Amino acid sequence: MVNPSERAGKIFASLEANENINPKPDTLVLGNGTEPHLDASFFYLTGFPYGLFEGSYVIARKDGTVKLLTSALEEEIARSNSKGIEIRIIPREEASLKLSESAGNGITSIGINSAELTVKSLEVIKSAFKSAQIVDVSEAIESTRLVKDMEEVRLIQKACDAASVAYRKVPSMLRAGTTESEVAAKLAFEMQKNGGDGVSFDSIIAFGKNSALPHYTAGQVKLKKGQFVLCDYGAKYRRYCSDITRTLVFGKASKQQKRMYEVVQHALELGTEQCTPGFSGAEVNSRVTEFIDSTEFKGRFIHSLGHSLGLSVHDGPGLSRIYTKKLEPGMVVTVEPGIYIPGFGGVRIEDDLLITKTKPKVLTTAERGLIEA
């Protein structure tokens, strides 16, 4: 079971180390909105594996005190999944009053997570602490969440396992006339069948030329022989996400398709071996981009190499030109090189990696070789 006091302590340590945050508040208030506007950091701090907790607030003090204000709707989940949290059940309309009462006296500044806070929740916090200075501490929260603890890694591994095992069934799903949406639905079933709680995002199943669109949405396009089948999908387990991509060919692959796959597979291997604390995310991204640009596919890798993974699919910066800090043990990132040729198709292969003190641990285990289904 998660220890909220320990996680709050990590946030306060990141806050103290961040020169951009002043003053340094000794109280954090995280407010949950209404689905789908929920704050993932609320669940990072509390550790609740399920439940919506709409309109709920958590107060964390630097002294280790953590208090939860929630409704009777979530009381049983909160009490059976909490460790060291003081729980108060309140009517939603009394949130502002109860926040002020619960936080205690002498508070001069409040730390908030503006990155995931709704305007409505902010107004409740301002109303509760009229004389306190509101300080955005989202940078400190993000940097804390980038480095996962052992429990988080365990949950992410479960999500990765559900997604990896599901891929074994994909070749048997492919028939002439099958639609992208049918494959997406079957993949979702397989992930839940194998231990996932659901999908971590809307699956991208793209046939033929649609595979050249990185953020495509599965539709009613029917499968034909000789087409690429790009599957970008993930499972969720106790709120934690996996994110995996594999590309197949339905039928016999052409020389061009095989060459594209060969280059992307090598780029995946190159990016994976570079994911060590000796490199920054920007450096890993640059090395893979330079490799692809050294081939006949120059300019056809059109996105960053990867992102952080955790409570959200895009859980913060990762392997991109904007993340110039060194990778740290405990980070979980995706490595997802791709080549995209408009009108022809695209290849992307993606794995989820845990950064360690030495070489990375690959969490996704689905077949990486080219499958001709």
pLDDT in tens, 126-154: 999 998 999 999 999 999 999 999 999 99
pLDDT greater than 90 at residue 288: yes
Do 319 and 271 form a contact (C-beta atoms < 8 A)?
yes
Q: Residue 208 corresponds to which tokens in the numbers above?
A: 């033929």
Mean pLDDT, rounded, for 319-344: 97
Do 148 and 172 form a contact (C-beta atoms < 8 A)?
no
Write out the E strands in 109-218.
109-112, 133-136, 198-199, 204-207
pLDDT at 97: 80
Which domains occur in the chain, in start order?
Answer: 4-145 (3.40.350.10), 150-362 (3.90.230.10)
Q: Residue 268 corresponds to which tokens in the numbers above?
A: 């995946």
Lowest-pLDDT range, 99-103, 156-160, 316-320? 99-103
pLDDT at 231: 98
pLDDT at 276: 97
107 pLDDT tier (thresholds 50, 70, 90): confident
- For residues 371 and 165, what is the distance between their CA atoms, to the nearest angstrom? 15
Do 179 and 167 form a contact (C-beta atoms < 8 A)?
no
Mean pLDDT, rounded, for 113-117: 95
Mean pLDDT, rounded, for 304-321: 96
Beta-sheet pairing, 66-70 with 85-89: parallel
- For residues 231 and 229, what is the distance between their CA atoms, to the nearest angstrom? 6
pLDDT at 92: 78
Kind and range of the H or E element at 240? strand 240-241
pLDDT at 82: 86
- Eight-class DSSP state of 223: P
Do 94 and 71 form a contact (C-beta atoms < 8 A)?
no
- For residues 101 and 120, what is the distance between their CA atoms, to the nearest angstrom? 20
pLDDT at 22: 93
Partnered with residue 133 across adjacent β-strands are: 109
Query: Residue with structure tokens 């199943």?
Result: 205
**Length of the chain (residues):** 373
Do 137 and 25 form a contact (C-beta atoms < 8 A)?
yes
- For residues 272 and 354, what is the distance between their CA atoms, to the nearest angstrom? 10
- For residues 120 and 126, what is the distance between their CA atoms, to the nearest angstrom? 10
pLDDT tens for residues 61-98?
999 999 999 999 999 999 999 888 999 998 877 877 88
* pTM to 2 decimal places: 0.96
Mean pLDDT, rounded, for 25-40: 94
